[in-house]
Structure 1
């Protein structure tokens, strides 16, 4: 049994208990599309296992009911899904996860007095507890990632730092953008100067980017999809930037 899952369900029940007798309705707002690692079909089985364990071993006598709605990782659809679950008397919400989807729902939840627990909402904006009073995040946040990067620079006495990240201008802001945004401001606050930053897309010339960057920083924080990161590092080797004079740190969690 995944004790983390069971304790999470127990926490949800405890949050809802003051206004209930022996029944808790848990709203789950996640995307139906299997494109997302946190899709309903992937997450719901774990929730069901945790609920069975909680009902049998931790909170016998308490009935837990799951209400599921599709967020589609959309700001509009997630808001409509949340309102639907609110009308169905959901006491607590699991999700949404996607940043643009969770933002309006987390704002509504304060007025509805419904707590939200999410593995998303990682961007800096969600650090503002005055605005997102009932939002609990159980995964890494961009702020914590940025603080880790700053700590590395302090330990190794790195001061000439650059940010190189992937950003497609035609789409919504990417995870790399939000990660680098947090790192940028943390570094600027720590050292008093703005770090060098350079974004790229699928049409960028990595050799030109690296030649320009080599005169502005010696330590580079890199974020991009696996193929782009690999191509960048191949060009790094071609230009002789992998011989000890420069450091490249990949922080994209999807890159293995």
Structure 2
């Protein structure tokens, strides 16, 4: 094969791109936005056509700075711990945001089994810890 086009799922890209690097076959993907793919030593022939989620985090940081906001809460969907699905795109997207903000934001995830009470508790937690004085 001269090149791999795709895949887009991060969990599939990782092994394909690792093997392709050993075989010196280029991999072109519209996926691969997870930050881990920046490590060229692990993925030497991977070309991501969409960039990484790091761009989202840089944009978010700039917006927060422009508005003078410093208290931040990140509430996101992630699969349940027993789902065997790994992490969600929301988890992967907000990982770089959390890092860019210096690990200082309050962050919690919810999953498909969350109840109305769970959401109320989450929102109360965020209300108390993600607002400026």
Task: Map 1:145-164 to 2 at 5 A.
Answer: 145-164=56-75
Q: So what's the TM-score if we normalise by structure 2?
A: 0.87
SS in structure 1 at match of 2:129: coil
User: Alignment partner for residue 129 of structure 1, among 40, 51, 59?
Assistant: 40
Q: Number of paired residues?
A: 126
Shift of 1:140: 4.1
User: Alignment partner for residue 106 of structure 2, among 179, 196, 201?
Assistant: 196
- Coordinate RMSD, CA, aligned: 1.5
Mapped partners of 2:24, 2:16: distance in 1: 12
Could you tell me which runs of 5 or more consecutive residues in structure 2 were left unpaired when the two chains were aligned.
none
Q: Check if 1:174 corresponds to 2:88.
A: yes
Mapped partners of 2:64, 2:39: distance in 1: 26
Equivalent residue, structure 2, for 1:94? 5
Q: So what's the TM-score if we normalise by structure 1?
A: 0.47
Task: Map 1:170-249 to 2 at 5 A.
Answer: 170=83, 171-188=85-102, 193-202=103-112, 203-204=114-115, 205-218=118-131
Shift of 1:130: 2.1
Q: Deviations over 1:8-57 (max 9, x none)?
A: xxxxxxxxxxxxxxxxxxxxxxxxxxxxxxxxxxxxxxxxxxxxxxxxxx
Could you tell me which runs of 5 or more consecutive residues in structure 1 were left unpaired when the two chains were aligned.
1-89, 220-256
Q: Which is bigger in relative contact order (C-alpha 8 A, separation at least 6)? A: 2
Mapped partners of 2:131, 2:92: distance in 1: 22
Mapped partners of 2:96, 2:18: distance in 1: 22
Mapped partners of 1:157, 1:211: distance in 2: 23
Equivalent residue, structure 2, for 1:84? none
Shift of 1:147: 1.2
Mapped partners of 1:155, 1:129: distance in 2: 33
SS in structure 2 at match of 1:197: strand
SS in structure 2 at match of 1:199: strand
Of Structure 1 and Structure 2, the greater strand share is in: 1
Computing the radius of gyration over CA atoms, which structure comes out larger, 1 or 2?
A: 1
Equivalent residue, structure 2, for 1:144? 55
